[in-house]
Structure 1
Amino acid sequence: MFQSIPRMHARVATLGTKEGSGLPAWLGSVLSWVQSGGRAERSKGMMSILYNQCSFVSGQRLRRAHQIGELYGSLYSERSRRSLMGNLWRRLRSRHPRTGHLLAALVGVFMWEEEKIRDEELQRCANEMQTVEMLSRMSKQGWQRDPGPEEQAWEVVMDRKNFRVWRKPIPDSHLYQYRVLGTYTDVTPRQFFNVQLDTEYRKKWDALVIKLEVIDRDDKTGSEVVHWVTHFPYPMYSRDYVYVRRYSVDLENNLMVLMSRAVEHPTVPESQDFVRVRSYQSKMVIRPHTSFDENGFDYLLTYSDDPQTVFPRYCVSWMVSSGMPDFLEKLHMATVKARNNEMEVKDYLSARPQEIKAPASTERHGDKSRGQQQGQGHMEYA
């Protein structure tokens, strides 16, 4: 009987063996399952080791960056640190532009190099003053067309004692661009200029302001990014603007230029409480009659924006053309209060005298104060 057991075992093994494999089918399946399970466990183990290693390296680098930040914080001022970080950021962006833009969006960095107002834009604003003065003379003679190369039609929509308003259609849009050429004789150019730039003062004289603050600044050019929230006529929602602004004071040519235009800033996302105005531009050129500190000047305001309304074109045009004189009057009265020392206003012309360059002075009319200004040369910052 015992001799038949090996024969039965061999028979069973033969019946359960795959052809050409030498192992039973069930045993091969078990071994394959064990081997696959082992690979999965090894994969999990490798992933765990890799995760721990990455966490360790990332933690080490973060601690090192924090230590470096503390070191630079103790060695340099805040302005120097910003300048250093700006230089490093510009170097990264120049070498890896796509990576730089992605990182800028992730970490909330404003791309000054792409969004800044450039010198040639300020120069074009200054050149427009002469063009519009010519336009004003021609329109008084009955010819209401811009003599510039674009030959765009300008239409007079308001003509008053101290100012005149034109408008022209913006191409491929239902909106207009507006120009105001005006004169004031009872305040100085410096006072008028400072009132426009002082955001804290505007909160006091402009009742429509809900919020107005400088959220970013470029130390290289002095340009600023401003977040402005303002009431709109009922029942419309309030509007908010995010714009970059820069100014130039040319003492040699006796001109002041202030330019603003809409931008996007990562620290001020769009809010459901307001309607974001994404198309906005304002340019102001001031030409003193004599000097920056004597009463009397001409100004040119060029303005356009898209308030995101559903009203017809003529309604939007009426709101802008009727609201502009009211704003200019409020701006003028605020300047009169600043002149009378009723309100304190920051003096932007002397805010950073260390950046003034000194070309040859050229006095006119023998005016002493004017000669002192031109001796200081050309000052340019936002």
Structure 2
Amino acid sequence: MYPRRGFSLSILPLNSNLKNVFRNLVQRQFFTKYGFNFREKLSGIKSIEDINNKIREIVRKGQVYKLFLEESPSNRSGRNNVIKVWLHHCECVAAQRLRRCQQMFTLYSKWWEEKAFKEYMKRMRQNLTRRTRDFAFGSVGISAYNWEKYRITDEEIKKNEQEFDYINVLKENTICLACDPSQKDVDDMKVCACGTMKTPKTYEDWALFIVKPDLVIWRRLHPSGSGQYEYKMFGTYNDVSAEDFLNVQIDIDYRRSWDTSAVVLEHGETDESSNSDIIYWELLWPRLFVNRDYVFNRRYLIDEESKYIFILNKSTEYPKFPKYPDKYRIDDYWSCMVIRPHDGDMKKPGIEFTLTYYDNPGVSIPSSVTTWVAMRAMPDFLDKLREATKHYKEFCLREGTSKACKEIIEAERAAEAQRQKDKLDYCSLLRNSNRTLTQDTVKDKRSGNNKDISSSDVCGVHTNNHGNRFKYLQPLYYFFQ
């Protein structure tokens, strides 16, 4: 199997392997003879120290090899040659095995390193596309988005200043006052009877779609010829403020908690100079369809002069959010909302709003299905938005981190501090009044066990003012009785 090279056959007998060598040694009683001698030398050992001394003596005299060698020089020389050949043979085999292991290790390590390197580069490329690029731009102060080119301009916003006037025109031209008020279904929605006729009553192609006590929705086919509808809504809420209604829509952390249709909501980039943001939004669709996702530029503007709030969204492209193969990207999307407080105060409850939006879902759906979904999905979303606005302050005080939440928290702390200060001021005033009226109270004190519970109990001052005519002069009497 392994050829012997570099050795002459003259130094090896015909049967010169290790087995024959040991057999020869056994026949000559080598192990018996030297084993007896070895036992004799160990007979005097009685402790570990004796063992150490014997070993040192044997090593010092160099006689260890004599236990394994015969007295005959010729036999000793032949056996030495056999052992040398055998050791060389073992060395060759071991060297070959080590060489083969090294080659296999090199091969597999190279193959796995190449595969791991390719996987690493693939992930790095994905990270550069999705995440790292905007961080790299941000580290040097350069935006990954061309705001100068794609920012929503003031002119685009100002185009929507007459939305409420246009809503009034739509109401006058599309809502039929002769409709039967009893035409309502279980969801408390009423579709105008004119909309069910073959020639519905429209204005600039806007047809009445849904009528509710606090919500009216119109729709019309989009001029692009896609077969999809664009929608216009008008709503009025008396229990939410314009400021909270705005903050609920721009606070994506809060929206994750109440909007069950939003699978993913991520923030890409902010342009603080114009109150603009890049938002990624994945919308949950039924099981038969893949989810839709949006990347849009959102800007809001608060007009202090007209007391209007504008929120505009427009689809865009952003390198952090590329198109994903398991989702359908909505590239044609826009919306505009205008909010107006009833009495001009954005912090007080009472608002009116209009919302116009359009998106192309990229799939042909029967109009009956589209109508059924829209009639339930849109009012349901607006109801959730309304309820979420009512609880926005609670969310901010509990876990909110946005700029609006921080302002709400600071305002609440200031209000609480003012309440405590007012309470201390009233209590101090009450104590001073009690000291002044003490003498008159003692003189006019009436007999009886009933004690009048006055405002002094609230401040920790306990006096018996039952029947005391001066109690009506105390400032807090009218607040705590």
State the TM-score bracket (shorter-chain normalisation): 0.5 to 0.7
Question: Shift of the alpha carbon at 1:292?
Answer: 0.3
Q: Distance in 1 between matches of 2:148 and 2:299?
A: 14
Question: Conserved in 2, the CA contact under 8 Å of 1:286 and 1:297?
Answer: yes
Match of residue 297 from structure 1: 351
Match of residue 281 from structure 1: 334
Q: Distance in 1 between matches of 2:248 and 2:306?
A: 22
SS of the aligned residue for 2:331 comes to coil
Counterpart among 298, 321, 342 of residue 268 in structure 1: 321
Counterpart among 345, 370, 387 of residue 316 in structure 1: 370
Question: Conserved in 2, the CA contact under 8 Å of 1:230 and 1:239?
Answer: yes
Counterpart among 285, 296, 300 of residue 243 in structure 1: 296
Amino acid at match of 1:321: M
Question: Shift of the alpha carbon at 1:349?
Answer: 10
Q: Distance in 2 between matches of 1:350 and 1:283?
A: 27
Q: Distance in 2 between matches of 1:252 and 1:347?
A: 23
Question: Shift of the alpha carbon at 1:336?
Answer: 1.3
Amino acid at match of 2:387: M
Provide, for residues 112-148 of structure 1, a one-character-per-residue CA deviation record: whole Å limited to 9, x for no partner.
23322111111112222321133223333569544xx
SS of the aligned residue for 1:182 comes to strand
Match of residue 219 from structure 2: 167
CA separation of 1:133 and 1:80: change in aligned 2, threshold 3 A: farther
Match of residue 122 from structure 1: 157
Q: Distance in 2 between matches of 1:281 and 1:233?
A: 22
Match of residue 332 from structure 1: 386
Question: Shift of the alpha carbon at 1:216?
Answer: 1.7
SS of the aligned residue for 2:380 comes to helix
TM-score by length of 1: 0.59
Question: Conserved in 2, the CA contact under 8 Å of 1:135 and 1:144?
Answer: no
SS of the aligned residue for 1:296 comes to strand
- Stretch of structure 1 that moved more, 301-310 or 280-289: 301-310
Counterpart among 240, 247, 260 of residue 194 in structure 1: 247
Question: Conserved in 2, the CA contact under 8 Å of 1:176 and 1:317?
Answer: no
SS of the aligned residue for 2:159 comes to helix
Which has the larger Rg? 2
Question: Conserved in 1, the CA contact under 8 Å of 2:174 and 2:207?
Answer: no
Provide, for residues 171-217 of structure 1, a one-character-per-residue CA deviation record: whole Å limited to 9, x for no partner.
12201110110110011111111101100000000112221111122
Q: Distance in 2 between matches of 1:257 and 1:349?
A: 20
Match of residue 26 from structure 1: none
Question: Conserved in 2, the CA contact under 8 Å of 1:227 and 1:243?
Answer: yes
CA separation of 1:265 and 1:156: change in aligned 2, threshold 3 A: same
Q: Distance in 2 between matches of 1:287 and 1:135?
A: 18
Match of residue 179 from structure 1: 232
SS of the aligned residue for 1:117 comes to coil
CA separation of 1:343 and 1:204: change in aligned 2, threshold 3 A: farther
Q: Distance in 1 between matches of 2:398 and 2:235?
A: 24
CA separation of 1:131 and 1:235: change in aligned 2, threshold 3 A: same
CA separation of 1:183 and 1:253: change in aligned 2, threshold 3 A: same
Q: CA RMSD in A?
A: 2.5
Amino acid at match of 1:184: Y
Q: Distance in 2 between matches of 1:144 and 1:195?
A: 35
Unaligned runs of 5+ in 2: 1-136, 178-199, 408-481
Amino acid at match of 1:324: M
Question: Conserved in 2, the CA contact under 8 Å of 1:228 and 1:241?
Answer: yes
Question: Shift of the alpha carbon at 1:166?
Answer: 0.1
SS of the aligned residue for 2:352 comes to strand
Equivalences, count: 245
CA separation of 1:189 and 1:220: change in aligned 2, threshold 3 A: closer
Q: Distance in 2 between matches of 1:262 and 1:317?
A: 24
Amino acid at match of 2:362: Q
Amino acid at match of 2:279: V
SS of the aligned residue for 1:156 comes to strand
Provide, for residues 13-44 of structure 1, a one-character-per-residue CA deviation record: whole Å limited to 9, x for no partner.
xxxxxxxxxxxxxxxxxxxxxxxxxxxxxxxx
Question: Shift of the alpha carbon at 1:264?
Answer: 1.3
Provide, for residues 248-282 of structure 1, a one-character-per-residue CA deviation record: whole Å limited to 9, x for no partner.
10111011010101111122111012111111111
Provide, for residues 335-359 of structure 1, a one-character-per-residue CA deviation record: whole Å limited to 9, x for no partner.
11124557655455998xxxxxxxx
Runs of 4+ that moved beyond 6 A: none
SS of the aligned residue for 1:126 comes to coil
Amino acid at match of 1:196: Q
Question: Shift of the alpha carbon at 1:227?
Answer: 0.6
Q: Distance in 1 between matches of 2:359 and 2:350?
A: 29
Q: Distance in 2 between matches of 1:223 and 1:248?
A: 9
Counterpart among 106, 109, 112 of residue 147 in structure 2: 112
Question: Conserved in 2, the CA contact under 8 Å of 1:287 and 1:297?
Answer: yes
SS of the aligned residue for 2:374 comes to helix
CA separation of 1:177 and 1:268: change in aligned 2, threshold 3 A: same
Match of residue 139 from structure 1: 174
Q: Distance in 1 between matches of 2:231 and 2:405?
A: 27
SS of the aligned residue for 2:294 comes to strand
Tell me: higher relative CO, structure 1 or 2? Use CA pairs within 8 A at least 6 residues apart: 1
Question: Shift of the alpha carbon at 1:286?
Answer: 0.5
